[in-house]
Structure 1
């Protein structure tokens, strides 16, 4: 055998490498991984498997549609809790304080985000489909269980809506966002922004739906109507979404949480999420009660949550268009500062017109904060294999903020009819402002780490 015919030692032991190809045509995705010789290393016989991220194509956009439906059914459903909060305080649980009732929504937020540690690990372990199915069944089942809860029985509402639906939404939320990174790279922030308009739309649909049926047919049928809507949304979503895992990820070393916490950029971003979360959810939980306690027309008050979520549709798309060029952190910082300023502006809101203006503006800027959070975490990842756990750990921190922030605000405003709104406004505005300052520091550190202007 001549020298050039002899196999190298690397070829003999089957050395291979796997890279990710970004921005390929959609038909490259359909043909699956491709085997090519590593250019310039033909003599070594090194085989390189190319994994394609298509940035488009039928499977990619059907996954976007499916994720959008999941956002309606999870974050959109959760964003309507302000309607339930007001109904519980005034009708179903009148013997419990606003702070005690807020624990139902607080635990729901906590589990929606904190379960991302579990669902992130499952997602990285290629268990996307099973995780989504379990979450869907649990979410729908607990919704119908909520419709059977008896007035005055706090634990029934807490277990079905707070714990049960919180766990279910937590299983679905992160995978439905992280799967978008399988299909998009160059357009990732824009696509995530489009998907998050689903949560805004859900925050419009569910409050209007349950409010109207609550008034006409009672609590049980209002919740059942929401359950049937969830059934249709999640059934279609599970049929549409498709993961596109890189086969090499199973062979990669799993990222260490301790190692992630040693990353200063990541740590400061989570501190920002904690502080921001303490203030960010305040209007979504208490704006309707704020309106009614200030004598604003009941009809307008009932739609404040829906108006806020409608405004966030714009906020979840426009900043993400710029984020693909200027970076998600750069675009998130102004939104955090403006959201903090708007919360302080509640001191001057006493009439119908100013309330509607606040609802729209807060929806726009808070929507940008929510939708840019996931792209920010994705760009911090050193490889696609750690996207799930990075998002999971950061979402857990946001969940802690949601769990503790809303009851703190409830305790600060006290029991009606004379609420101490100024205490909650100062707390929420200050913590959100602190979060914005920490995100500014995060951007500076990330610029130094990546040696890039726009991050």
Structure 2
């Protein structure tokens, strides 16, 4: 007679067991979402592109108009200050667009996005209203330099990361369309300034700009949305492990070096034209021409980056920008300044719109906000120091010709570093990157 089988008691489920199983299910579902196909289009995705376009219009577009303010302040409101000192206001704007990326990128990866985006929108509009009341150098430094720069930076950095949630195969196109917001803003705001300041005065011109920013930022807050859920990424604000990738490290350094020279022409194009006899009524429009041409450059780079690789597009475009920077101080007529503004605007716009794209391929997409943020924060070093250095050089015996040599050489050095980064990433001298 066989012995009866032993009775095995059922497993005891504790609260801890249930929590672990539920956590596993959530993590599995989250993993499925992250590995799912990207929409790469559709109404919701294109609404996000529109909102990101509005954000870029309000941030980089507004800041790209600084050359007009540089000329106006030098000639009127701050004529007792040196061009180099005035340039610090603009360079602080440029750098602070990049610096907050370290914080906003990290918190974006953790799912904290909407509240900082809304608060920064309010601060940017209020700072522009306050700028209308400024009369002294330190007033402009606080309102147009620090307040505008920080708020614009909080808005700008997450926008690139959001595109990584909605687009993959068409990411370059989406980023190119978003980047045209900077071009249109940089074209529209100088024209507004040039036509309204003589008619309604400087204070009301800034108030009108503030109302425009209010409308565009409202659109951005209503439409920009992340698609993927937060994903736990080890570490805090910094991810030092990312720098163990030599390609990422070298590429970050190339961004720093490029911005030591890249915004020099946009900052001093208007001023340099008037010093050789070009009418101020005409020179005012050179910044708008450059930013208008950059729209085409950004679109071209967006289309071409998906096919050939972003680095393979921005590298030759930086070469063109470097040549134009060398040639710019030799211009003496309206026609020559127009040619430089258009060619430089096209080439520099192609770089600015696409220089973060290679970073998507240098790590996991779940950490893309932090990697872009670290890169942008480092880039701020060049954006902060570049224009004032150029302003100081312009007062030397070499004048703007020496400035051209300095800024053009910085851009050429960045090209070499980008080529090195591509080789490190691909393991060969040519390939899609």
Q: TM-score, with normalisation over the residues of structure 1?
A: 0.87
Deviates more, 1:265-274 or 1:371-380: 371-380
Question: Any idea what SS the aligned residue of 2:253 has?
Answer: helix
Alpha-carbon distance between aligned partners in 2 of 1:286 and 1:429, rounded to the nearest angstrom:
14
1:434 aligns with 2:413: yes
* 8 Å CA contact retained: 1:51, 1:246: no
Task: Say if 1:34 and 1:51, in contact at 8 Å, map to a contact too.
Answer: no
Could you list the runs of 5+ residues in structure 1 that have no partner in the other structure? 20-32, 37-47
Q: 1:345 aligns with which of 303, 327, 336?
A: 327
Distance in structure 2 (CA, Å) of the matches to 1:184 and 1:121: 20
Cα pair 1:211 1:222 within 8 Å, conserved: no
Paired position in structure 1 for 2:368:
387
Runs of 4+ deviating beyond 3 Å: 11-19, 33-36, 48-52
Q: Could you list the per-position Cα deviations for residues 36-86 of structure 1 after superposition, in whole angstroms to 9, with x for gaps in the alignment?
A: 8xxxxxxxxxxx985452111221110000000011000000000011111
User: Could you tell me how far apart the structure 1 residues matched to 2:35 and 2:157 are?
Assistant: 26
Name the structure 1 match of 2:63: 78
Range 305-314 or range 117-126, more displaced? 117-126
Query: 1:26 maps to what in 2?
Result: none
Task: Tell me the residue number matched to 1:161.
Answer: 144
Q: 2:402 aligns with which of 423, 432, 454?
A: 423
Pairwise CA distance, 1:298:
2.4
1:263 Cα offset (Å): 1.6
Task: Indicate the SS of the match to 1:341.
Answer: helix
Which residue of 185, 193, 201 corresponds with 1:218? 201
Is the Cα contact below 8 Å between 1:254 and 1:386 reproduced in 2?
no
Specify the SS of the correspondent of 1:105. helix
DSSP 3-state at the match of 2:168: coil
**3-state SS of 1:314 partner:** helix
Q: Displacement, 1:130?
A: 0.8
Shift in CA distance, 353/184, structure 1 to aligned 2, threshold 3 Å: same
Deviations 1:132-184 (Å, cap 9, x if unpaired)? 1011000001101110112xx11100000000011100100011221111111
SS of 2:427's partner is: helix
Q: CA contact under 8 A between 2:111 and 2:229: conserved in structure 1?
A: no
Spell out the pairing of 1:270-349 with structure 2 (5 A cutoff).
270-349=252-331
Query: Matches of 2:423 and 2:214 in 1, distance apart?
Result: 44
2:88 to 89, 103, 123: 103
For 1:356-367, list aligned pairs within 5 A: 356-367=338-349
Alignment counterpart, residue 120 of structure 1, candidates 93, 101, 105:
105
Distance 1:87 1:34, change over 3 A: closer
Measured on the aligned residues, the alpha-carbon RMSD in Å equals: 2.4
Q: Which has the higher contact order (CA 8 A, sep 6+)?
A: 2
1:61 to 18, 38, 46: 46
Distance 2:155 2:368 in 1: 15
> Aligned residue pairs: how many?
417
CA distance in 2, matches of 1:414, 1:352: 23
* Cross-structure match for 1:445: 424
Distance 1:61 1:94, change over 3 A: same
Superimposed CA distance per residue, residues 189-224 of structure 1 (whole angstroms, 9 cap, x where no aligned partner): 111011001100000000000121112221101111
Q: 1:240 aligns with which of 205, 211, 223?
A: 223
Q: Which residue of 2 aligns with 1:91?
A: 76
8 Å contact kept, 2:121–2:151: yes
The equivalent position to 1:408 in structure 2, one of 389, 410, 414, is 389
Tell me the TM-score normalized by structure 2: 0.91
Change in CA separation of 1:182 and 1:295 when aligned onto 2, cut-off 3 Å: same
Question: Could you report, residue by residue, the CA deviation over 1:255-281 in whole angstroms, capped at 9, with x for unpaired residues?
Answer: 753212222101111111111101100
Shift of 1:299: 2.5
Q: Secondary structure of 1:343's partner?
A: helix
Structure 2, unpaired ranges of 5+: 12-16
Q: Which residue of 1 aligns with 2:379?
A: 398
